[in-house]
Amino acid sequence: MEERKKIPVVMDFDTGTDDAVALITALLHRDMLDVCAVTAVAGNVPLEATAANTLNIVDALGHTDIPVAKGADKPLKRELHCAISHGKTGLGDVIVPDSERGFYEKDAADAIYEAALAHEGELFVLATGPQTNLAIAIQRHLDIVKLIKRVYIMGGCLVGGNMTQASEFNAYVDPEAMQILFRSGVDVVMVGLDVTLQTELPIWVRDRVEAAGTPEAKLAVQVMDFMIKRNKEFGYDVANLHDVVAFCAIVNPSVLKLKRYYVDVETEGTITRGMTVADFRDVCPDKEKNVTCAEDIDVEGFWNWFVDVFEKRGKRR
């Protein structure tokens, strides 16, 4: 039987804790994914930290063949606003050995473009931080829009933010970048808070991942344990695996209820900065339904998939 063609993908993270778990989970899918590059953007913590975290995790798990590129150190037009719940380093109290290699010679935007040219019309992009790198790639290389097959983002919300009452963190940090992406014509899947806030890590999941006993499981549990601890000790966010849900949309979309809407992003508002505004009642019939939004999630199905990744894929590695 003909071997199934791998999906070419570039993954852009603001590696923080849930990005780290998403990266670890994705690296267990190299039998399905041709990971052309991994890129880093400023978001949860400054770029120096997100980039080092990303490179160190890729290399600590043995994927030194994957180029890791540094991207934007601040939003397109605004000052960088970081999160506090990922700790100073972005990985809480988790220590990952320093990589022995350098970053890719191209920056993130050019690394995304290079992969798009190599996989004309077939490239998937996962972006789980502010979409600054993607926006720069679109602005710098206008032809990239037809070269990218689909962009999956963790970001936005149909109803109710986590940064403000109106907006989700990634959208709040760089609303201009998200607006450029949504208006570009690229096919976008928005995995927002409406589904990711339903994924608070259950202890049975944490324990089943730990029991897998692989290097990937060990590192993922260290990060998830910090996420649990930060909530208990400091009252920070609970252990929501936001970015893992966005990755899951690529390899296991059946757990998500998806619907296409016309969505734009508020960039002028103060109270509504970064609000992702969907046309639920088709009051703008002249506007193309540009974003496929995740409206609901089969939470049990998601956790069973997540555990399976570490129990089955991890063993096969």
Using CB under 6 A as the binding rule, whether residue 18 contacts ligand RIB is answered as: yes
Which residues is 40 bridged to in the sheet? 13, 70
Question: Binding string, 33-72, against ligand RIB, x = CB under 6 A?
Answer: ----------xx----------------------------
Radius of gyration of the chain (CA): 18
19-255-147 Cα angle (round to 5): 65
Residue at 303: amino acid letter? W
Q: Does 242 participate in catalysis according to the annotation?
A: yes
3-state secondary structure labels for all residues of 72-128: CCCCCCCCCCCCCCCCCCCCCCCCCCCCCCCCCCCCHHHHHHHHHHHCCCCEEEEEC
Q: For residues 40 and 70, is the Cβ–Cβ distance under 8 A?
A: yes
What residues have CB less than 8 Å from 118, skipping those under 6 apart? Answer: 8, 36
| Of positions 87, 90, 129, 274, contacts Ca ion by CB under 5 A | 129
| Of positions 14, 59, 237, 266, contacts Ca ion by CB under 5 A | 14
Q: For residues 206 and 310, is the Cβ–Cβ distance under 8 A?
A: no
Smallest separation (angstroms) from ligand RIB to the CB of 46: 13
Which stretch in 87-95, 168-176, 214-222, 289-297 sits in contact with ligand RIB by CB under 6 A? 168-176
Using CB under 6 A as the binding rule, whether residue 126 contacts ligand RIB is answered as: no
Using CB under 5 A as the binding rule, whether residue 107 contacts Ca ion is answered as: no
Which stretch in 16-24, 29-37, 72-80, 116-124 sits in contact with ligand RIB by CB under 6 A? 16-24
Q: For residues 181 and 83, is the Cβ–Cβ distance under 8 A?
A: no
Using CB under 6 A as the binding rule, whether residue 199 contacts ligand RIB is answered as: no
Which stretch in 134-142, 167-175, 282-290, 295-303 sits in contact with ligand RIB by CB under 6 A? 167-175
* H or E element, residue 149: strand 148-154
Q: Which is nearer to Ca ion, 8 or 90 (CB)?
A: 90
Residue at 120: amino acid letter? E
Which stretch in 4-12, 162-170, 275-283, 309-317 sits in contact with ligand RIB by CB under 6 A? 162-170
Using CB under 6 A as the binding rule, whether residue 129 contacts ligand RIB is answered as: yes
Smallest separation (angstroms) from Ca ion to the CB of 193: 12
| Of positions 168, 174, 176, 216, contacts ligand RIB by CB under 6 A | 168
* H or E element, residue 257: strand 256-261
Q: For residues 57 and 20, is the Cβ–Cβ distance under 8 A?
A: yes
Site for ligand RIB, residues 227 to 256, rule: CB under 6 A: 242-243
Distance CA 317, CA 315 (A): 6
Smallest separation (angstroms) from Ca ion to the CB of 162: 12
Instruction: Give the residue carrying structure tokens 């390899």.
Output: 251
Using CB under 6 A as the binding rule, whether residue 174 contacts ligand RIB is answered as: no
Which partner, Ca ion, ligand RIB, none, binds residue 169 by CB below 5 to 8 Å per kind? ligand RIB
Smallest separation (angstroms) from ligand RIB to the CB of 212: 23
Distance CA 205, CA 212 (A): 11
Just list the catalytic residues.
242
Residues in touch with ligand RIB (CB under 6 A): 14, 16, 18-19, 43-44, 128-129, 154, 162, 168-170, 242-243
Residues in touch with Ca ion (CB under 5 A): 14, 19, 128-129, 243
